[in-house]
Chains A and B, each alone.
Chain A
Amino acid sequence: MSARHTLLAAALFLVAASRAAPMAAQASAITVSASQRVIRITARYQGDLVRVQGTALPSDAIVLKLTSPREAVQCSQKGKVGPFWLSVRQVRFEDVPRMFKIKSTVPLDDILPQTEQVEHGLGRAGLKASMAVEGGLDKNLYLNELILIRERDRRFSFAEEGVRRDGDKYQASFFWPPDGPPGLYRIEAYAVNRGRVVATAETEVEVRAVGVEAWIRSLATSHGILYGLFAVGLAAVAGLSVSLLLGGRSSGRSSASSGAVTEASGSVT
């Protein structure tokens, strides 16, 4: 090959490479990570805030989904009986996540059609399609009500936007409510372009009771009688200790007045 041909081939390669580089950079990709992998439930636990961050192409919209393993949930339906509101029917829901939160860079309905939302389990449409209600009830009505309840107790949320961007970096935060049960939760990140999900990534966060809280929870649920003995013992020790601290001599004092008895140490009767 002559020097001229070699130079021509090198020039063609450079041109091709210079065109291919931006094309490769534009192939959609997304990453996601959480500020903490484990949320610890301790005696001072008031819920927790987990920061989620990652990278994505500036041209892609971002949707974040926080979800958990699904379970069957039992509800009772209230109805008016006379002047009071009583339980009139038991309703069982299947495949209900303990927690379901959505955040995005722009409103979800503006970037993803319903069919795509359902396919990826995103938004209200995706969540409703993935759950079931037993007994031939009006699925839409009952699922809307369940979602409303979960939104009130801060376990479900559908934030329009809520993901902040800075170039190819993004950031958002999810709040775990204090009554959010322990377990493994998944945070999924979706890159969206032209009405389609073009890339996904995921990370996990575990909520775990630790120390005394873990011990009490475990004992209360798995060994009820033992836990009952512990609870009575703890109450007895607490009552005796405070009585002794305040002067045990007054503990048996009583006074009869119209059948009422003042019992300084037997206080919560």
Chain B
Amino acid sequence: MNVFLPVASVDVNALLLVGVGATVGFVQGMLGSGGFLLTPLLIMMGISPQVAAASAVCAIAGASVSGTFTHLRAGHVDMKMGLLLLVGGVTGGAVGTVLTKILRALGNLDVVIISCYVLFMAVIGVTMFVGGLTSHVQGDVEQPAETAVHRFLGRLPFRMSFKVSGVETSALSPLILGGLVGVLAAIMGVGGGFILLPAMSYFLGMPMQVVVGTSLFQMLFTSASVTLMQAAVNHSVDAVLAAALLIGSTVGAQLGARTVAHLKGSQLKVAFSMIVLAMSLKLLNDLMQAPPTFLIVMGLAK
């Protein structure tokens, strides 16, 4: 059963599309991370990197709605921290959207998106592989108390207290973190959970429940604003694609969350890290292969 994607202008198998969303959601449900696989999988299906990234970020906005409200009701959202993250995120998203437009005009957007994925997936894959292997062999290991990042954050000015999180830190910390996530959301189509969650819990010292609620709050509004900017500036959001992915990923995430209880976490991490590393190598290989033609059609000239 094929469906024609109006903005991507390709016809794809609808079940395959929902299946890709479900697979990513399943991994996400099991491991808490995996949404960043969505854009590269769509690229491998033949959808242009730009439409893939913009539509994936739209799906993230939809996926974050229900979780955000649940955490808001439970009082797990640090609004002060969330708003600072959001200001950074929206600013970063605007910068990322303009960067996307410039890179597209230069003809190197696809290369930048794929390069970012190669780099991020290699880092994530190696980190997960080492973490999974270590915890499998030695059990959970305590992380070192203070690092250079802690010391750097400790020296930043404009310190303020965040009551819900129970921490005191510089206002610049969430602004910088949010800005980084915003840029990544615009260029790569990721929510940034794999950066936000460890950074907020480990470097800012926030309790995990508030980390989850506040990061979801930030992701919802950052991804929604990036979707709006991508739609307005680059016309690259495919709502049909986003909805299909979202339906699949929501179902997959529920299944993944139920399955994880029956599996061993460290083995899952090692297996998943190998998939991520394989995908990273595949994309790296694509970047280094000579293109079939020396010209790439960018679209209608102005």
Q: Which residues of A contact B (CB under 8 A)?
A: 41-47, 71-80, 83-87, 90-93, 142, 145-146, 148-149, 152, 178-179, 181, 209, 213, 216-217, 220-221, 224-225, 227-232, 234-240, 242-244, 246-248, 250-269
In the complex, the answer to whether A252 meets B11 with C-beta atoms within 8 Å is no
Alpha-carbon distance between A43 and B61 when the two chains are bound, in angstroms: 24
Are the C-beta atoms of B292 and A152 separated by less than 8 Å? Answer: yes
Contact with A along B34-75 (1 / 0, CB 8 A): 010010000000000000000010111111111110110010
In the complex the two chains form, what is the Cα distance from A250 to B211 in whole Å?
Answer: 18
Q: Chain B: interface secondary structure?
A: helix
Q: Determine which residue in A145, A148, A256 has the highest number of CB atoms from chain B within 10 A of its CB, and name it.
A: A256
The 6 residue pairs across chains A and B that have the minimum distance between CB atoms: A235-B62, A76-B107, A228-B231, A87-B107, A252-B70, A260-B32
Q: Is the CB of B250 within 8 A of A246?
A: yes
| Total cross-chain contacts (CB, 8 A) | 293
**B8 CB → nearest A CB, Å:** 9
Complex Cα–Cα for A247 and B21 (A):
19
The answer to whether A235 and B246 touch (CB under 8 A), given A71-B300, A217-B7, A261-B197, is yes
The answer to whether A240 and B30 have CB atoms under 8 Å apart is: no
Cβ–Cβ < 8 Å partners of B67 in chain A? 251-252, 263-266
- Nearest-neighbour CB distance to chain A for B272, whole angstroms, equals 11
Contacts of B288 in A (CB 8 A): 83-85
Decide yes or no whether B166 CB sits under 8 A from chain A. Answer: no
Which chain B residues border A152 with CB–CB below 8 Å? 292-293
Query: CB distance B232 to A213 under 8 Å?
Result: no
| Known contacts A228-B230, A261-B193, A262-B257; A235 and B4 CB within 8 A of each other | no
- The answer to whether B108 touches A220, judged by C-beta atoms less than 8 angstroms apart, is no
Among B145-153, B169-177, B234-242, B273-281, the stretch in contact with A: B234-242
Which B-chain residue is minimally distant from A249 (CB atoms)?
A: B70
Instruction: Please measure, in the bound complex, the distance between the C-alpha atom of A132 and the C-alpha atom of B25, giving whole angstroms.
Output: 48
B111 contacts partner chain A, Cβ-Cβ < 8 Å: yes
| Chief secondary structure at chain A's binding surface | mixed
Tell whether B227 is near chain A: CB-to-CB under 8 Å. yes
Select A216's contact among B61, B239, B246, B260, beta carbons within 8 Å: B239
Q: Name the B residues within 8 Å of A262 (CB-CB).
A: 28-32, 256-257, 260
Query: A81 → chain B, closest Cβ, in Å?
Result: 10
Which of B's residues lie within 8 Å of A, judged by CB?
2-4, 6-7, 9-11, 21, 24-25, 28-33, 35, 38, 56, 58-68, 70-71, 74, 76, 106-108, 111, 115, 131, 135, 140, 190-194, 197-198, 201-202, 208-209, 211-212, 215-216, 219, 224, 227-233, 235, 237, 239-240, 242-243, 245-247, 249-254, 256-257, 260, 265, 269, 287-302
| A71 CA to B297 CA, complexed, in Å | 13
The distance in angstroms between the C-alpha atoms of A246 and B237, with both chains bound, is 27
Q: How far is the CB of B299 from chain A (nearest CB, A)?
A: 6
Q: Are A239 and B197 in contact (CB under 8 A)?
A: no
Q: How far is the CB of B222 from chain A (nearest CB, A)?
A: 11
Pair B29/A77 contact, Cβ less than 8 Å: no
Q: A260 to B33, Cβ gap below 8 A?
A: yes
> Are A267 and B252 in contact (CB-based, < 8 A)?
yes
Cα distance A258–B2 in the bound complex, in angstroms? 40
Chain B positions within 8 Å of A181 at CB level: 9
Which of A41, A45, A79, A238 is the one whose CB lies under 8 Å from B246?
A238
Q: How far is the CB of A268 from chain B (nearest CB, A)?
A: 4
